[in-house]
Amino acid sequence: MSALRLLRPTVAAALKPTIPRRYVSAFGYTQAKALIFNDYGAPKDVLKLHRHSISPAYGDEIIIRFLAAPINPADINQIEGVYPSKPAFTITLGTPSPAAVPGNEGVVEVVGVGANVKNFKPGDRAIMKHTAFGTWRTHAVAKDENLLKIPEEYKELNVISAATISVNPCTAYRMLKDFTPLQPGDWFIQNGANSGVGRAAIQLGRIWGLKSINVVRDRPEIEELKEELKGLGADVVVTEEELADRQFRKDLKEFTGGKPPMLGLNCVGGKATTELIRQLGEGGHVVTYGAMARQPVTLSASSLIFRDVHAHGFWVSRWSDKNPEKKKEMVEEIFGLIKKGEFKDVPIEKTVWKNDTKEEELKAAVEKSGQAFGGKKQVFVFEE
């Protein structure tokens, strides 16, 4: 924190009534907590809970209070230092050495604004406009360019919906829209269909009249999972083993009426993706947005030469940074679907973050999120 920021006068009148008193000192400073890390590594080894103070908003500053923030695989990769988007290591939180706050996605409430802020007021809600802001904390100082305001008509939606809208639903939306034109009645196929992106793709496909073939890993409760995904709008749900069975290729023609899928969505890699690509029609497109198996995507020469299969990669963070206005329109469209009850949240497990929540509880949620994929999404929910 700069000396100028520490020395500038603080006046009680600058405080906004929306700031909970338990977080405000007698001198007007907001008492904040954040999970931080000073070096890359395994989350259990490098994460620490840090307490610090935030002075009242000044100039173009916006003081925000976090309401919810999910724990995504990308967040774990970021802490490990293997994610392309890097957080800023600074001493602005009052740490003796530069530190960063993890977390790329979240929903916030504005609790204080500086005199020069025009687009936000206390009580407004917003999501993060870009990645690597650092969302695993109770409060923060932001600027207008960091935030995407939630329109008033959607402000009272479930905080989980708002906190988890930027990554998974937006990834599914863009992949279904941007790589090959699909018309109502067309088919697409995806693996990792029970993931956050997979569930979003099923629902958006249903809303847009698309048909979906959904591949999941086998598990003891596989029939329950298949029924759950069909309840979201999945037309066909199969295991990876069923997809690889030669009989499935014959069955696929019956499912689709002889019309093969022209789009494949891949978040796994390895053999599971090879089998997915085999189902695509001539000139089909496979889009890779994840690599949960940590194995390469192999595209055979015959697929390239004789079937003209096209391979793409997609990273929603890059797309969002390049298309801020389109992102705003897309997010508002998805909010509208949520409000109408047409789009459901992924199954989640909350970790409530209160003023007295211990570091061990928060790190346990991060550890659980980093385990084998397929379970509930872990989400920090901040309570006063």
Beta-ladder partners of 268: none
Asked if the domains at 3-164+346-382 and 168-317 fall in one CATH topology, the answer is no
Return d(Cα 63, Cα 139) in angstroms, integer: 7
What would the two tokens of residue 129 be?
Answer: 């406009």
Return d(Cα 252, Cα 241) in angstroms, integer: 14
> Could you report the per-residue pLDDT of 167-209, keeping only the tens digit for each?
999 999 999 999 999 999 999 999 999 999 999 999 999 999 9
What's the pLDDT at 240?
96
- In percent, the amount of the chain with pLDDT more than 90 equals 84
Q: In this structure, are residues 125 and 109 in contact, taking their beta carbons and an 8 Å threshold?
A: yes
Superfamily of chain region 168-317: NAD(P)-binding Rossmann-like Domain (3.40.50.720)
Query: What is the spatial order of strands in the sheet that 263-266 belongs to?
Result: 236-239, 211-216, 187-190, 263-266, 285-288, 310-313
Superfamily of chain region 3-164+346-382: Medium-chain alcohol dehydrogenases, catalytic domain (3.90.180.10)
The one-letter amino acid code at 278 reads: R
Q: Look up residue 149 and give its DSSP letter.
A: E
- In percent, the amount of the chain with pLDDT more than 70 equals 91
What's the pLDDT at 369?
87
> Own/partner pairs for 233-237, CB < 8 Å, 24+ apart?
233/202, 233/203, 233/205, 233/206, 233/207, 234/193, 234/202, 235/187, 235/211, 236/212, 237/193
What residues are annotated to the active site?
A: 83
Region label for 52, one of left (φ > 0), alpha (ψ between -120 and 50) or beta (otherwise):
beta
Return d(Cα 42, Cα 51) in angstroms, integer: 21
Taking the model in full, what pTM does it have?
0.90
CA 331 to chain centroid = 12
Question: Quick one: which of 209, 256, 199 has its CA closest to 232?
Answer: 199
What's the pLDDT at 378?
96
> Could you report the per-residue pLDDT of 61-82, keeping only the tens digit for each?
999 999 999 999 999 999 999 9
Domain residue spans in the chain? 3-164+346-382, 168-317
What would the two tokens of residue 103 be?
Answer: 């977390």
Question: Higher confidence at residue 293 or residue 331?
Answer: 331
> Could you report the per-residue pLDDT of 230-253, keeping only the tens digit for each?
999 999 999 999 999 988 888 888
| Mean pLDDT across the chain | 91
What would the two tokens of residue 355 be?
Answer: 């003023």
pLDDT above 90 (res 144): yes
Return d(Cα 79, Cα 42) in angstroms, integer: 7
pLDDT above 90 (res 13): no
Question: Higher confidence at residue 3 or residue 256?
Answer: 256
What would the two tokens of residue 227 be?
Answer: 């029924």
Helix or strand holding residue 68 (H, E): strand 62-71
First to last CA, the chain: 25
3-state secondary structure of 64: strand
CA 60, 64, 70, 76 dihedral sign is: positive
What's the pLDDT at 12?
34
What would the two tokens of residue 11 be?
Answer: 């006046």
